[in-house]
Structure 1
Amino acid sequence: MEVRAQLASVFHLDKCLGCHTCSVVCKNLWTDRKGSEHMWWNNVETRPGTGYPPLWEDQQRHHGGWVLAGGELRLRLGSRPHVLDQLFQPPTLPTLDDQYEPWTYRYGDLLGADPTKDLPTARPVSAITGRPIDPSAGPNWDDDLGGSAVHAAADPNLAALDPDERQALLAFDRLVFFHLPRTCNHCLNPACAAACPSGAIYKRGEDGIVVLAKERCRGWRMCVPACPYKKTFHSWLEGKSEKCIGCYPRLESGDAPACFHACTGRIRYQGVLLYDADAAARAARAPDERLVDAFRDALLDPADPDVAAEAARAGLGEAVLAAARRSPVDRFVRDWELALPLHPEFRTLPMVFYVPPLSPVRAVRSDGARPVSDDLLADPAALRIPIRYLASLFAAGNERVVVDALQALAAVRAHRRARTAGDVTAADAARLLLEAGLDEATADAIHRLTVFPTLRERVVHPPLAREGEADRDPGIQGLVGLRRRVTS
């Protein structure tokens, strides 16, 4: 067992308002400059939908992530010799049309227009060429199912549904959507780092954040198609790639990342996860139906004395273990098993997890009968968002882990309704808790961390050192014990 530690995140989709505050804060802080107009390190997508960049999940088109061949992992983009052979004419690079051509407006036409009876307008023009354009795509183009007949219907995850289920999901009387915030997953097995010919992308030993050293970047852009989540971007002005850096300057100062700090719905949690590096390597090679379970098996209990002893031998300080024991991410992902990885079949072992949404119920069941509210809490199949759709997003098609998470969430909701609203009997609430494998204390803890968390409870960091400081001062606590074991 080789114990390692990583800062990981959980996004609670039941709480996301779709307000885009996180996206705007990130944009203003990191990519509000020429050449990065198309870069949205954080964006919020409406699901069902195609997301941003459009159809980023279609790896037959983008060739991102890893594939399992003969029991071994290889980049879907191709082997290293193949990548080097394609350097000067890569056929799989996203084009400007795959993202969108950034635009601005001729505001001078409004300010300097001569007196006229006609209302002056500010025409949209390309931010790159300055020529007039008609915008047809953007990072939030299909927000709240705007143009759902085009965007929602093109969602690749709908392929997992039967035609009748797809039609029912998009039918007007049953129409439902939820918001999916996305940022760099800072994966344990990042495809972007593996594909980078110049070695500019690496995982920080301090916290596991995947960063890009711009002074080493040569603009080969192989990281852009290799990332299956399409969270690496290329600056058309500087000729270099850029990506989310996890707000590590804020982390090193003891602050939460900007998107976490600004989140209106308080859906974002961050903390330390301990994992076994050997088990994680095996998890990346697990068959699709076992991916989530294998991923969970690689996570370690920070309260286990044997794990603590191995962590100390690996160079992890007591401050890291203490933060791991208080980590909200550890509780959501390992302890309660409520949070799931986004598209684990990409095999990058993403370190951002999602609590799936409890959607509204269908007005009419498939047999024509109207559902009864008490039955709904015990029957995830009655929810408007099909289980197979959520399993395609968060479990590589494994419906069982999605059903387990939804049943636990529904049981907690029933438990609280029995205590407060009184429309669920105590006996029914107890039965649902038992079926979900929860006790009242755990249900109360889930409710407390979901509904009333303070920022200190949502974001739990160990003391973090800046790069290089640990080499000068071995007494600095943090995740610095991993520095020499992390490869680029």
Structure 2
Amino acid sequence: MRVLAQMAMVMNLDKCIGCHTCSVTCKQAWTNRGGVEYAWFNNVETRPGQGYPRTYEDQDRWRGGWTLTRRGRLKLRSGSRLRKLATLFFNPHLPALSDYYEPWTYDYQNLITAPAGDDLPTAKPTAPITWSANWDDSLAGGPELAQHDPILKAMSERIRLEFEQAFMFYLPRICEHCLNPSCVASCPSGAIYKRTEDGIVLVDSDTCRSWRSCVTGCPYKKVFLNHQTGKAEKCTFCFPRIELGMPTVCAQTCVGRLRYIGVVLYDPDRVLEAASVRDEHSLIDAQKQVLLDPHDPSVIEAALRSGIPQDWVVAAQRSPVYSLIFDYQLALPLHPEYRTLPMVWYIPPLSPVVDAVRDTGFDGEDAANLFAAVEALRIPIGYLASLFTAGDPAPVREVLRRLVAMRAFMRDINLGRDPDESIPASVGMTGSQMYDMYRLLAIAKAEDRYVIPHAHREDAGAPNDGCSVPTPVSLPFPKVRQS
């Protein structure tokens, strides 16, 4: 068994208020230069909505991620090596700048030069605005825009008609730093690589030749081209901060404290098998089998033998990411059907279920009533399943039941009553487990939400592509002379 370490993140969507603080601080730190005005390494999408870039989830159009051949072999949706070579100078599967948005500024001079009047002067945009990174924000366009949401379009007529009831939630997105990154396998120059020491996916600017195959290959469309330098850029998981044991900028500044960062251990030899599972509904379980139990003595021994430092093993044992995925079984990956094995996971949002039950005349805090209301939540389970479980509603339903059970269980404790052990038992947990889950989700301090060991630069190995298939770095592509 071979063991590698992976920095991972979990976001609790129940706590996201859509303030975009994470996006703004990331923008200030990483994309405040010329050529990437349109790029947002972190963005917050209102769901339902088309996302950023527009309809990025429509892989029939954009050809991102992996798919299986008839023989069950994994291949890039964007095509084989020969196809990439043939279309090297013509790639129609790229979002245009209008799919992101045309950056604009404001006429601030008008604030100074406007004549005196009864109304305060305004700074109007200097160009017409037709789209932006958060154009769907808070249902700004209503059904006119949301009907183009690829997930909503694929769902039943009943769900689409019920959209008039205005269900919505916020979805923050960064690069997934996948275990099987299709952007790495797509790059003809081998410029994108997955670091061996922490699994962060980065771009080597010296090697990048602006082919933009990585933009097509990424199904989440989180690789951007700097139009001034001609280099690909992407979320770096704030690796300079991570190496010092500090959380990412987006996590550090998050108002809702919804992000959790930690180390997980995984077996890279199982990645190909997990990504090649035929049944899309089995991909989550397959990915979980790639991740290793850091408390298992055999895993600890193999990790140390693989060169993982002792303090990283300890950090993996304390990882909130591992706890939310395995111990509490709350976190789910975004679009596992892309077969990239993403390592940014999400806790699905719970609609205002208490109010919904209370409106029917029943006790909105009673556990039995809450469990029954899970199926009638305003946010359809089917929509959440299309995001996080490749359309399988069962795992989403179980997560929501656990969140509902936690509310009912903690109500008794907060009111000074004896806790009802039957509530956690109904979702396969003990009372102490549920209380620990509550503490992590609700009142955990920074040192519990961010368990990030310092980097051991003296042990850093050579870059590892981390893909299940060889990357096409040997193709005879010409070198582009840099001016």
State if a TM-score over 0.5 links the two structures.
yes
CA contact (8 A) 2:46 2:170 kept: yes
Q: In structure 1, what is the equivalent of residue 308 of structure 2?
A: 316
**1:248-287 deviations in Å (ceiling 9; x for gaps):** 1111222211111111111000111112223332111112
Number of residue equivalences: 462
Q: In structure 2, what is the equivalent of residue 382 of structure 1?
A: 376
Amino acid at match of 1:377: L
**Unmatched 5+ residue regions in structure 2?**
472-483
Mapping of 1:9-28 within 5 angstroms?
9-28=9-28
Verify: 1:460 aligned to 2:451, yes or no: yes
Q: In structure 1, what is the equivalent of residue 481 of structure 2?
A: none
Q: In structure 2, what is the equivalent of residue 40 of structure 1?
A: 40
Amino acid at match of 1:178: F
Q: How far, CA to CA, are the matches of 1:446 and 1:363 in structure 2?
A: 23
**1:92-144 deviations in Å (ceiling 9; x for gaps):** 1111111111111233354456789998765533xxxxxxx311100111211
SS of the counterpart of 2:161?
Answer: helix
Give the C-alpha shift of residue 432 in structure 1: 2.9
Q: In structure 2, what is the equivalent of residue 84 of structure 1?
A: 85
Q: How far, CA to CA, are the matches of 1:288 and 1:139 in structure 2?
A: 30
**Unmatched 5+ residue regions in structure 1?**
126-132, 471-479
Q: How far, CA to CA, are the matches of 1:485 and 1:198 in structure 2?
A: 12
Q: How far, CA to CA, are the matches of 1:340 and 1:205 in structure 2?
A: 24
Amino acid at match of 2:292: L
The alpha-carbon distance between structure 1 residues 402 and 343, as it changes in their structure 2 partners (threshold 3 A), is: same
Q: In structure 2, what is the equivalent of residue 358 of structure 1?
A: 350
Q: How far, CA to CA, are the matches of 2:59 and 2:96 in structure 1?
A: 15
Give the C-alpha shift of residue 383 in structure 1: 1.3
The alpha-carbon distance between structure 1 residues 371 and 81, as it changes in their structure 2 partners (threshold 3 A), is: farther
SS of the counterpart of 2:294?
Answer: coil
Verify: 1:330 aligned to 2:322, yes or no: yes
SS of the counterpart of 2:220?
Answer: coil
Amino acid at match of 1:73: L
Q: In structure 1, what is the equivalent of residue 478 of structure 2?
A: none
SS of the counterpart of 1:8?
Answer: strand
RMSD of aligned residue pairs (Cα, Å): 2.4
Q: In structure 1, what is the equivalent of residue 479 of structure 2?
A: none
TM-score where L is the length of structure 1 = 0.89
The alpha-carbon distance between structure 1 residues 485 and 96, as it changes in their structure 2 partners (threshold 3 A), is: closer
Q: How far, CA to CA, are the matches of 2:103 and 2:336 in structure 1?
A: 31
Of 297, 317, 339, 2:331 maps to 339
Mapping of 1:184-223 within 5 angstroms?
184-223=175-214
Q: How far, CA to CA, are the matches of 1:456 and 1:121 in structure 2?
A: 44
CA contact (8 A) 2:194 2:464 kept: no
Q: In structure 2, what is the equivalent of residue 135 of structure 1?
A: 129
Q: How far, CA to CA, are the matches of 2:149 and 2:464 in structure 1?
A: 42
Q: How far, CA to CA, are the matches of 2:465 and 2:117 in structure 1?
A: 69
Amino acid at match of 1:153: Q
Q: How far, CA to CA, are the matches of 1:61 and 1:484 in structure 2?
A: 30
SS of the counterpart of 1:233?
Answer: strand
TM-score where L is the length of structure 2 = 0.90
The worse-fitting range, judged by mean Cα deviation, of 328-337 and 368-377 is 368-377
Of 398, 401, 407, 1:407 maps to 401
Verify: 1:58 aligned to 2:76, yes or no: no
CA contact (8 A) 1:314 1:481 kept: no
Amino acid at match of 2:386: S
Amino acid at match of 1:284: A
SS of the counterpart of 1:265?
Answer: coil
Of 392, 401, 414, 1:398 maps to 392
**1:12-37 deviations in Å (ceiling 9; x for gaps):** 11111111110010001111122111
Verify: 1:182 aligned to 2:173, yes or no: yes
The worse-fitting range, judged by mean Cα deviation, of 438-447 and 370-379 is 370-379
Amino acid at match of 1:183: I
Of 423, 443, 448, 1:432 maps to 423
Amino acid at match of 1:430: E
